[in-house]
A and B are shown apart, each in its own frame.
Chain A
């Protein structure tokens, strides 16, 4: 079931890569090459932490559910969790 989900995600139009990272920053699953994966994993982990702390600082009842970074070339989507992080890089429709 999990495999199918991940495969389906990867198969969507415009998706460049998928990464699953754990709380220590170790990439569990990835479709990109290892150096890129490590870079994404480390940087996005920190960013997610920062974003989450920002949201909670403003309102302690609130929590971060999703993080989307749109850049000129593509969009990085991060679905955070307590222990894991699901990162998808997609080229939006244009």
Chain B
């Protein structure tokens, strides 16, 4: 309802001055209460009303002026002599002192204090209460039960299509990050939707990788730069090398030029020891080892062709599968090849022919891992085919120690950086073996089944406590091994040295024996050749050799048949005696056939 008051005014009166006059009150609007409206309301009984009865206060902040404190020490020079005593004058001070000493209080107090003091002095002289017991004896820690390893974390490939985790690399400063390279090593199994990415995982977070590396082609191997923990170098499936800076993002900072790179997947890339910290080298099955400076990736700084005939012929070259470089021996490096041969090379040689120093052969398959023992650089471990072998640099013909032949292919291995006698291997059936050859030589000390699929790569962290292994389905498992396997035992170095020396000596002796035998053979064959020449016989031609062989063959066959005939007769006589009648010849043949087949079954 609108309350409106209407009044009228003549147009001619607009704008006139206002004359006000008093008027008695007029009632304009009177709205009476309408009881029917109460139906729209509900009575509220009781009503809650909050009332506060407090003192009103106001807040006010005051900051006092800063009070400057300064700590200072006092160097006490001379006691608080009373005013009348001059501290410099000896007589006055002595007199004062004598006065004090006469005081009765002084005597009593001092007697009391003296007795107390004597007690403590005597106490000190009797027992040294702070004596360190058993100070010289070192705390001997018992071997904590069984060696064990437990899985700490599992990092799965986040992509749908799983690729193999082919290489792992630990972050150089402590165990916080792990870089894993993923690629599919099976021939022509790469599908369109298979991603090329490799990841850097933070060990705490298994759900999502910390960083993704996006190469042009999937990475087969990946290494952190030990000098600069932000730089990583990776070798890819198409033969190119790329390097990343984790501060700069997921794309590689630079890639090597395709024309100058490898022509096969790069299986191993290692950082070198150099002043600039930018040198690295890579190996691939195309037979080349290339040196790179990451500042200039357009072409390699050096190239070596692994041609055992030392001619630099690429067709003859051995395909390289693994590389080894020890920073304590910067001029030497070793390459493990597809053909099962380890080639030891010298980097500082003048001509390419001299670069290849020597070869060690003894494996039947490609050498997947090659590493020098961090405590004994003269000995190195190779992992290939179904065995792992330990070699000494001096013995070329065979390894000094080797494991038994396993049921599954060994795919990777490495030494423990904490103990000289411990090394790890992984197999294609998904097991991880920890070997301690001072404890047991025939079997691994600990054998763990990590996963159901094949394990392809393995890397131990620098403290020897954690290790990561990568599997065929891209799962990287982080394991922690028990402290007994990663703390140096007493005498371990001495025992390991003794063992290596003993095995090396044995091999040397064997080698010497073989050499002697060979020499004897050679001299004997030379002797016999001379004799033949004396007889006047010319060199036997090929046909004569064949005829001779044929003759010998038929002689042997006839002798065998005669022997069989005699046996058959004996059998026949026995059978006849059994049956009590003669058996015809045809039956003999069937009978002998039956005998032959039955003996074959056995």
Spell out A's residues near B (CB within 8 Å): 1-2, 5-6, 8-9, 12-15, 20-22, 24-29, 38-39, 41-43, 46, 65-66, 68, 70, 75, 77, 79, 81-84, 86, 88, 90, 92-94
Residues of B within 8 A of A15 (CB): 121
Whether A20 and B110, one on each chain, are in contact in the complex, defined by CB atoms closer than 8 angstroms, is: yes
Whether A77 and B121, one on each chain, are in contact in the complex, defined by CB atoms closer than 8 angstroms, is: yes
Q: Which 8 A-B pairs have the closest CB atoms?
A: A42-B76, A26-B79, A24-B80, A79-B113, A86-B113, A5-B114, A25-B79, A92-B124
* Among listed B101-109, B153-161, B584-592, interface-contacting one: B101-109
* Among listed B125-133, B277-285, B507-515, B571-579, interface-contacting one: B125-133
Residues of A within 8 A of B130 (CB): 70
- Bound-complex Cα distance A82 to B105 (A): 11
Whether A93 and B77, one on each chain, are in contact in the complex, defined by CB atoms closer than 8 angstroms, is: no
Shortest CB-to-CB span from B573 to chain A, Å, is 105
Q: Which of B79, B81, B100, B116 has the most CB of A within 10 A?
A: B79
8 contacts between A and B (CB under 8 A): A1-B111, A38-B77, A38-B78, A39-B76, A42-B75, A46-B74, A77-B121, A88-B121
Question: Which residues of B, 118-140, contact A by the 8 Å Cβ criterion?
Answer: 118, 120-122, 124-128, 130
Residues of B within 8 A of A6 (CB): 110, 114
Whether B128 and A94, one on each chain, are in contact in the complex, defined by CB atoms closer than 8 angstroms, is: yes
Residues of B within 8 A of A5 (CB): 110-111, 114-115, 118
Question: Which residues of B, 224-278, contact A by the 8 Å Cβ criterion?
Answer: none
Whether A8 and B118, one on each chain, are in contact in the complex, defined by CB atoms closer than 8 angstroms, is: yes
Whether A12 and B113, one on each chain, are in contact in the complex, defined by CB atoms closer than 8 angstroms, is: no
Additional pairs, 19, CB under 8 Å, beyond known A26-B81, A70-B130: A1-B107, A2-B111, A2-B114, A8-B118, A21-B79, A25-B80, A26-B80, A39-B76, A42-B76, A66-B116, A79-B114, A79-B116, A79-B117, A83-B106, A86-B110, A86-B113, A88-B121, A90-B124, A92-B125
Whether A22 and B100, one on each chain, are in contact in the complex, defined by CB atoms closer than 8 angstroms, is: yes
A41 — nearest CB in chain B belongs to which residue?
B79
A18 — nearest CB in chain B belongs to which residue?
B117
- Bound-complex Cα distance A43 to B74 (A): 9
Q: Does B28 contact A (CB under 8 A)?
A: no
Q: Does B97 contact A (CB under 8 A)?
A: yes
Shortest CB-to-CB span from B58 to chain A, Å, is 38
> How many chain B residues touch A (Cβ–Cβ < 8 Å)?
35
- Bound-complex Cα distance A68 to B123 (A): 12
Whether A93 and B121, one on each chain, are in contact in the complex, defined by CB atoms closer than 8 angstroms, is: no
Residues of B within 8 A of A39 (CB): 76
Shortest CB-to-CB span from A11 to chain B, Å, is 10
Whether B109 and A68, one on each chain, are in contact in the complex, defined by CB atoms closer than 8 angstroms, is: no
What number of residue pairs across chains A and B have CB atoms under 8 A from each other?
105
Shortest CB-to-CB span from A5 to chain B, Å, is 4
If A24-B80, A83-B109, A84-B113 touch, whether A75 touches B101 (CB-CB below 8 Å) is no
Shortest CB-to-CB span from B388 to chain A, Å, is 55
If A25-B79, A39-B76 touch, whether A86 touches B114 (CB-CB below 8 Å) is yes
If A9-B114, A77-B117 touch, whether A28 touches B122 (CB-CB below 8 Å) is no
Residues of A within 8 A of B82 (CB): 24
B74, B100, B121, B124: the one contacting A9 at CB < 8 Å is: B121
Whether B101 and A93, one on each chain, are in contact in the complex, defined by CB atoms closer than 8 angstroms, is: no
- Bound-complex Cα distance A82 to B108 (A): 12
- Bound-complex Cα distance A82 to B112 (A): 12
Shortest CB-to-CB span from B130 to chain A, Å, is 7
Shortest CB-to-CB span from B124 to chain A, Å, is 5
- Bound-complex Cα distance A79 to B115 (A): 10
Shortest CB-to-CB span from A93 to chain B, Å, is 5
Residues of B within 8 A of A27 (CB): 79
Residues of B within 8 A of A81 (CB): 109, 112-113
Residues of A within 8 A of B76 (CB): 25, 38-39, 41-43
Whether A29 and B118, one on each chain, are in contact in the complex, defined by CB atoms closer than 8 angstroms, is: no
Question: Which residues of B, 53-84, contact A by the 8 Å Cβ criterion?
Answer: 74-82
- Bound-complex Cα distance A2 to B100 (A): 13
- Bound-complex Cα distance A81 to B56 (A): 56
Residues of A within 8 A of B78 (CB): 38
Q: Which of B74, B80, B111 has the most CB of A within 10 A?
A: B80
- Bound-complex Cα distance A2 to B116 (A): 14
If A6-B114, A9-B114, A84-B110 touch, whether A66 touches B121 (CB-CB below 8 Å) is no
Whether A12 and B122, one on each chain, are in contact in the complex, defined by CB atoms closer than 8 angstroms, is: yes
- Bound-complex Cα distance A28 to B80 (A): 12
B122 — nearest CB in chain A belongs to which residue?
A12
- Bound-complex Cα distance A38 to B76 (A): 7
